[in-house]
Structure 1
């Protein structure tokens, strides 16, 4: 149907496309533009409770809110 030229073209696309994407994503300009600008503020992130007293206080708050 397509012949060897079509198969060569498909093989070239299968090889070239992932290499081109890795080259683009791995470039320093991509990092500067997309990764460096997305800094997350520490106060907006979730900090899990670590001490038993903090966990018990949070459970009491949730139980009081539920009632």
Structure 2
């Protein structure tokens, strides 16, 4: 057996090695890994509106910008009238599809209500 001095040395090594490692590699991280101008300045970021009138004006600005971009895109494609008609036809078809799905859901609910389904449906005869 080596004795208590070796045990004290091993214990000190076990404690000081991770601390020294963290001190050597963990100091000056801001200087080592910083990227200049990574975060935008305050005047470069978006300002979030909090008041109701500011929100409405921002929504109106965004809607006008979106519509202007759409008009430019459609004008570039040369399909303004055809695209509007196709879009209206698409909206009509989607409305018809939604109405059809609602009617099918209503019919399914009615059929479910009338069938009195359960775990043992069809196993035992129904009481009349």
What is the TM-score normalised by the length of structure 1?
A: 0.43
Bigger RCO (CA 8 Å, 6+ sep)? 1
What is the TM-score normalised by the length of structure 2?
A: 0.27
Larger Rg, first or second structure (1 or 2): 2
